[in-house]
Structure 1
Amino acid sequence: MPWSNQSGGGGGWKGGNGGPWGPRPGGGGQQPDLEEILRRSQDRLRQAIPGGRMGGPFLGLIVLGLIAIVGFFGFTVRVQPDEVGVVLRFGEFVRLLPDGLNFRWPYPVERVELPKVTRINRTEIGMRGSSDTRDAASTIRDVPEESLMLTGDENIVDIDFVVFWQISSAPDYLFNIQNPAGTVKDVAESAMREIVGQSDIEPILTAARAKTEAAAEDLIQRTLDGYGAGIKVVQLQLQKVDPPAQVIDAFRDVQAARADQERLRNEAQAYANRVIPEARGEAERILQGAQGYRDQVIAEAKGEADRFRQVLDEYVKAPDVTRRRIFIDTMQRILTDTDKIIIDGKDGAGVVPYLPLSELQKRAPATTREEGPQQ
């Protein structure tokens, strides 16, 4: 029955003033006919649809299109290259999805978590980075309640460090720990305090930085593996290792004095390493020279003694000849390298000219070489 013919309480909506839309604008109190409105809507829909009919294959195509759209978005999930899809069926882990388009049951049957497994995460301990990069001094904020640590020799050291980590097992990362970033921070701070508590302050401040980094990184990884966190520690970097700010000047003076001491010790050791071998070599040279001189003197003495015995034997046989021979040899040895002047001793008439034939023989080759190019 049309709604315009319904009556209630002695009057219908069409003729009354209490219709569902109220009085029509423009007066008259005439109410709109609902059946007329529905008819006009159907006419407009028929005009928009080819053929003027709503039923048939066209309606089926619309339904199939709607089903395909709902199915595509309801049964597929897109996994980015830096992600891995973790499928939960009624809250229980069932499988992993690789990157790309993957099919799954729509919610609430299956739900997909997409952790970023290739992203390197950064956790800071003892400091916080600022978002304001215009002022370099304000980019780092110190957190002393995290950075101040007690060393094994009962000193306090201020350490800021950064832990870089990534997801190694997505299911363990999602289900075994509730707050991964907070867990990494707490574990890193605890591990660093343990390593520092077993070391003296001087090695930590000077030569043992790399050793401290390696020991802390290994302890953090072992602790997270014990939790089954599914996290891999990529690197640990010490950013600042200093004494507390109140005593840093005194510590730096002590370090400078120790550095000077070490430098002077090294210089003294280098000088000793250079001088001692030189002294030993000089001593060995003197000893060898003395040994050679001794052997030479002994050999010459023995030779002179043997020569004297031989001369003595000849002297016994012919004394005059031996004396003359000794005189001639001695004069020859003496006059070889001296200037000689021969004087006639019979009547003292004058000086006999001396012709130095040996000197002329020495000068002759030199004169020949000088005259050669002129010819």
Structure 2
Amino acid sequence: MSPSITTSSEANGNVSSATARAAASAAATAGAAGPQPVTMAKALNTAMVHAMQSDKSVLVFGEDVGKLGGVFRITDGLMATFGEQRCFDTPLAESGIVGMAVGMAINGMRPVVEMQFDAFAYPAFEQIVSHVAKMHNRTKGKVKLPMVIRVPYAGGIGGVEHHCDSSESYYAHTAGLKVYTPATAADAYRMLREAIDSDDPVMFMEPKKLYWSKDLVDLERLREDYEAKADRGTSMEGRAAVARSGTDATLIAYGPSVPAALAAAAAAAEEGRSLEVVDIRTIVPFDDETVAASVRKTGRAVVIAEAHGFASVSSEIVARVQERCFHYLAAPIRRVTGFDVPYPAPKLEHYYLPGVDRILDAVDDLQWED
């Protein structure tokens, strides 16, 4: 099935001139030469622009993603640039959004849908678990499901319950789903492009408190590098990154917890302790090799995550590291996570979220006297 494509803003008289100007501004910024301060929000937006330019089967839809550009403006300008057939608003019905995406993916499209907020995705959970995750296996590989479900997740924005859940463990536990979570603008661009190009469904978990964090990034160079690697059939999928080198202990983090881990490592350095930071990047598939190599080098590890600690991704990481590094460990692996309570009120979230002090307390407890 090949959709009819409209790529001109002139075909959309109902798109506001302000949105059209935003799209033009975004395109100009994306085309600027050399590394520039780029937000994660901008990197994600540009990744979708480039993917939609490169492949006419890619389309974006969800609640308020069209005219408004999304609650966090991640899809800003896409409707103006590509038309309402390729970026459009849907009713407030998450199960319907995902169900429609399943049908589109089966019929040759590459839908990218937004769940708006983490806990808003729960009405679509049955669709995700029963159909999105199982379609490829159910059809003995005959039917692929190339679709991306973007989920702004985790806390740190002063939001209330239902707006700050860390729901990655639900999806990581569900066989058949890939689970990505970037922590930098450059990774956000590359990983979203990889997710859109994947023939398997991807839960793309976006740390919303990092949307406006900035890194020096050359978006055009990123595009050239990514597309060159894609042409060669090479991918960085499933590869963790050593975000900071160290020798005394390893801090293992992903998504929204990576900046806290880096801040803790910087604080520890002032006290004469060298901490390595590993950014998981993709929870599924998981890079055991990079994580285990770091822990074998340092002999100690702390896993950091905003999500609840019980029956979580952090639990799985501890288990995998222990199985692979038992004889190298000088102390039990520690975890610093969100507490096992519903997400607290905004004024209390700083007590709940893993911070530098809690991380350093865990590091201090790694049996250094031995």
Normalising TM by the smaller chain, what interval? under 0.3
Tell which structure's C-alpha radius of gyration is larger: 1
The answer to which structure, 1 or 2, has the higher relative contact order (CA under 8 A, 6+ apart) is: 2
TM-score by length of 2: 0.18
TM-score by length of 1: 0.18
